Chain A
């Protein structure tokens, strides 16, 4: 049995999204910038897609800009805030310690341009504190960017409160909602969100397409200069099939959200209850304010990459926050930001479910994950020391 349990990394495309894309590839291959009928039909199509996407997050169609995905949207959002900040001489930006690298790296680079960056800490529950935000805000703060839901531990941030505070203080509020869109309700109007990044391949749409929502009145700076597409804010012939695929996937995810949430949480909770029975294991982050499909746990005494490889042999595709899987010497900055010691962070496992998973697959994981953990512990010198009482357990 093969179980795909890494939906936070990417998702299988839905049949509707695939069929939509194929139909546009076959029949509507016109360039939306062309005057003739074939071009205009393509233009009308992407404008229909724009409207559908806007409806899902409750904004105006003209506030949606198509991009190549979450990373581009994040970069463009930060660039735009930078330009506004330079003009108004406001060079302070607030974000969090556990943002995606597509936020953290551009912010880091801004330090070379005289910007100061404050990264709010995340607490053990994987949530930022409003108190910390209020204390961090300065007169020269131009933007706050906080992810809607974290990609590794799935915790959902207090977005509405953050939006309210930023609106009051006249600070631009951007949220990287890549993991949230299509999975939990988002209302940019109600939540006072000024900019938002989304990416289709996280909600059963195609890879290589996303969007950036920008509230009317906020000046967007182009990342890619050239043709006049996207009101001159994002040059390049529009990827019509991908845009249509994204819209179709989002409509489908949005329509099924309520039912999917119930079913996916149930599967995730079952899995979690079973895996919590493994001794010296812990769940990372709040279980209450969390994406329905996310489960992130640490198992003391073992390492993540070997865990994933053996799980792969048993048919399970999952992910980890160990250093070896991140390609660096440090384990995931997200887990470290929670305050986990290195050796515990190395032994992490992230399972992210979707509506395509089944109870049968959960049962399979319930069977094989404890087996693999037990085996790796049996060959681990750390576990041996813990068992023999030479070291003290970190996870009780």
Chain B
């Protein structure tokens, strides 16, 4: 079986699909050339992510990892959300095939990009790491 039951569940029934028109932060990562783009929208109130939505262009694990990532940050504080790792996303999904791990890295990057965008908008610029936007393939995938 290519994907675990959890991955297939998040793929078939993605959580938090959609767009937030008046989002407080929007993060878009990946590129069409390599076949994966994730866009995450967040609403923030008093430092808590009160709502999150996503759109994804990509394969089964791309959709599943972005869905899981949004679930994991919903209702969390910005600091907690920044601590989200791709490893945690993969574990929560009961694992991903080796050649699909890079999708989970992209999901982590999308979350960070959304939060960075929020801070930018707030005028408080926090530097977060961005290894995936522009996709140089540096994760080796």
Contacts and interface: CB of A to CB of B under 8 A. Distances in A.
A and B are interacting partners:
yes
A302 B57 contact: yes
B141 interface: yes
A303 B57 contact: yes
A154 interface: no
Main secondary structure of the interface of B (DSSP, over half): mixed
A381 B40 CA distance: 10
B14 interface: yes
A371 to B, nearest CB: 14
A331 B99 contact: no
Contacts of B118: none
B60 A379 contact: no
Contacts of B62: 303, 306
B57 A323 contact: no
Contacts of A322: 35, 59
Contacts of B38: 381
Interface stretch (B26-34, B44-52, B77-85): B26-34
Contact of B34 (A302, A305, A342): A342
Given A313-B12, A379-B14, A379-B17, A342 B63 contact: no
B137 A306 contact: no
Contacts of A302: 57
Contacts of A379: 14, 17, 55-56, 63
Contacts of B59: 303-306, 322, 324
Interface residues of B, number: 26
Interface in B8-34: 11-12, 14, 17, 19, 28, 32-34
A268 B55 CA distance: 33
A306 B63 contact: yes
Contacts of B100: 324
B55 A380 contact: yes
A125 interface: no
Contact of A309 (B11, B17, B56): B11
Contacts of A389: none
A288 to B, nearest CB: 31
A310 B60 CA distance: 9
A291 B119 CA distance: 56
B95 interface: no
Contacts of B99: 327
A235 interface: no
A379 B11 CA distance: 12
B36 to A, nearest CB: 8
Contacts of B33: 342-343
B39 interface: yes
B75 interface: no
A329 B57 contact: no
- The listed residue with most B CB atoms (<10 A of its CB), out of A304, A313, A346, is A346
B35 A301 contact: no
B68 to A, nearest CB: 15
A324 B39 contact: no
A309 B63 CA distance: 12
Interface string A331-367: 1000000000011001000000000000000000000
22 contacts: A302-B57, A303-B57, A306-B59, A306-B63, A309-B11, A309-B60, A310-B12, A313-B12, A322-B59, A323-B34, A323-B35, A324-B35, A324-B100, A329-B34, A379-B17, A380-B57, A381-B28, A381-B37, A381-B39, A381-B57, A383-B57, A384-B39
